[in-house]
Structure 1
Amino acid sequence: TKPGTSGYRYAVNTAQPESTGKTPAELMLGRQVLGPLERLIHRPPSPDQAAYSLVERQNIMAEE
């Protein structure tokens, strides 16, 4: 990554176009990304429910 591009990437990934109503990050990751200030102020969110459910199902299948 080139120096100075992280701010640009953050702006692009958090912009909400009218056509979809969702940010590119929401479409790709299924959630909103935290900005630099939000990371400092807020605690990290709970584990992603879909990922947690997948791991849980895999553990159950491994036990069977």
Structure 2
Amino acid sequence: MDNRAQTSAEFILLFGGIFVVVLLVIYMYNGYIDDLGGQIQSKEVSEFNSQLKILEEYFK
């Protein structure tokens, strides 16, 4: 009977550790996605500006 309680406690600790690792990975992934989003927006804005400059040549 004592072995069952020890096994249960070990499973709880194991799942708790896995849960903490998953939360850390999600937190780091969220930061990565936020940085990537900023880079994509900057690239889109610069491409849009370059396209406007090309169109500007037609109206001069």
TM over 0.5: no
When normalised by structure 2's length, the TM-score is: 0.30
Structure 1 or 2, whichever has the larger Rg, is 2
Greater relative contact order structure (CA < 8 Å, 6+ sep):
1
Higher percent of residues as helix: 2
